[in-house]
Structure 1
């Protein structure tokens, strides 16, 4: 059981969750910036998705959104980490944003100590995700 979550729920009675962070314009979902914007806007919890490349690297991304986010039809699960890291997000009007996909490890590390995090779509990689959470000592935050 997540003690920190229960303490915040007891104190606030209602917790606000931001699905993929707060995004729009050139602020891209499932990134550090979208998470920080969500927390600065009053969210208590940031929801982040997980997907794994063909060579086993975990990324913060909701697969199935590739065409909207990158203009490609290939599912990220079918791409190598090198291919994924070469992708550039499209912003809200379909132009290249300059933002690239975050490795899940790097995003969690950047968010350590900043709000609660709900990891979604990580069920296929739970052992790997749990290792990251334990290594980063974020058990009370996830």
Structure 2
């Protein structure tokens, strides 16, 4: 009887250990980031790398995304386009002229034809890197990091199918400048099934009403606030955004998006008070940057990023 009890206990303990081990194995870094993204009152700053780490690799390349993940960003930003044969690819510009050794629009080529071109680095030199597909990117980052789908509005349905097929739907943030009614009308079948962020131009009239309208109907996970002037009342009183369940996203990359409180002010001029400090003081808990390495170092010193 004693031996039977010992065996029974051993079996139970083994089962518990196996369950716990499997549970932990299924929890990824992306799971933690998804949880963090949906905590609007969390004061830790999430960092989004604009087009990946484009200073060390061609923008919007798999290598740029690998480098960005290696330095510890939370989100990579990329831009969507589509080939002649309907494949969603990563390309910022309407044409491939600036970023590759080819000419024309992605829509002029099949994927096989497009893959024959090579991406240029920041100095304009042609590299071995090719234009990635959205599927290739999502397979690369699955379980590791979140993704911000810029220029994605025309391709929501196609992107949705790729994300579902790769099991990465919860890692992706869809975004647009369009008002709620337009998005609801164009994408009624998926709008309630995606993680969504509205882009708001604070320099335009009706910005607050647009935010409130979105929060009344679908509660976006975040609002990307862009502004050429830093005089908007929303910048001084935006706590209602967090209270209603959304994070505030501010871009530090270009002065035109943040009234001059930008990355270059922080890094090249050494003035974080007038740049990153200012952005954080005005409610941002997600910052999209062209200087991810430097921003992460700065945030970690302030205990604002793990």
Decide whether aligned partners of structure 1 residues 77 and 24 sit closer, same or farther in structure 2, where only a CA change above 3 A counts.
same
Structure 2 length normalisation: TM-score? 0.42
Do residues 89 (structure 1) and 108 (structure 2) align? Answer: no
Residue from 89, 110, 116 that aligns with 2:146? 116
Do residues 137 (structure 1) and 167 (structure 2) align? Answer: yes
**What corresponds to 2:85 in structure 1?**
55
Paired with 1:137 and 1:79, the residues of 2 have a C-alpha distance of 28
Larger deviation: 98-107 or 87-96? 87-96
Residue from 31, 35, 45 that aligns with 1:14? 45
Residue from 58, 64, 67 that aligns with 1:37? 67
Structure 1: which 5+ residue stretches go unaligned? none
Between structures 1 and 2, the one with greater helix share:
2
Decide whether aligned partners of structure 1 residues 33 and 62 sit closer, same or farther in structure 2, where only a CA change above 3 A counts.
same
Decide whether aligned partners of structure 1 residues 42 and 10 sit closer, same or farther in structure 2, where only a CA change above 3 A counts.
farther
Task: Give the length in aligned residue pairs.
Answer: 139
Larger deviation: 119-128 or 66-75? 66-75
Which string of whole-angstrom CA distances, capped at 9 and with x for unpartnered residues, describes residues 116-141 of structure 1? 11111121111111111112221221
Paired with 1:116 and 1:10, the residues of 2 have a C-alpha distance of 19
After TM superposition, the runs of 4+ consecutive aligned structure 1 residues lying more than 6 A away are none
Shift of 1:100: 0.7
Do residues 24 (structure 1) and 55 (structure 2) align? Answer: yes
Checking the alignment, whether the CA contact within 8 Å between 2:34 and 2:171 is kept in structure 1 is no
Shift of 1:13: 2.9
Structure whose CA Rg is larger: 2
Which string of whole-angstrom CA distances, capped at 9 and with x for unpartnered residues, describes residues 34-81 of structure 1? 112222223211011111011111111113362221144412222222
**What corresponds to 2:180 in structure 1?**
none
SS of the residue corresponding to residue 171 of structure 2 reads: coil
Q: CA RMSD in A?
A: 2.1
SS of the residue corresponding to residue 93 of structure 1 reads: coil
Checking the alignment, whether the CA contact within 8 Å between 2:49 and 2:75 is kept in structure 1 is yes
Paired with 1:11 and 1:87, the residues of 2 have a C-alpha distance of 43
Shift of 1:10: 4.7
Shift of 1:94: 2.4
SS of the residue corresponding to residue 113 of structure 2 reads: helix
Structure 1 length normalisation: TM-score? 0.85
Checking the alignment, whether the CA contact within 8 Å between 1:32 and 1:111 is kept in structure 2 is no
Larger deviation: 71-80 or 125-134? 71-80
Paired with 1:126 and 1:45, the residues of 2 have a C-alpha distance of 19
Paired with 2:91 and 2:74, the residues of 1 have a C-alpha distance of 20
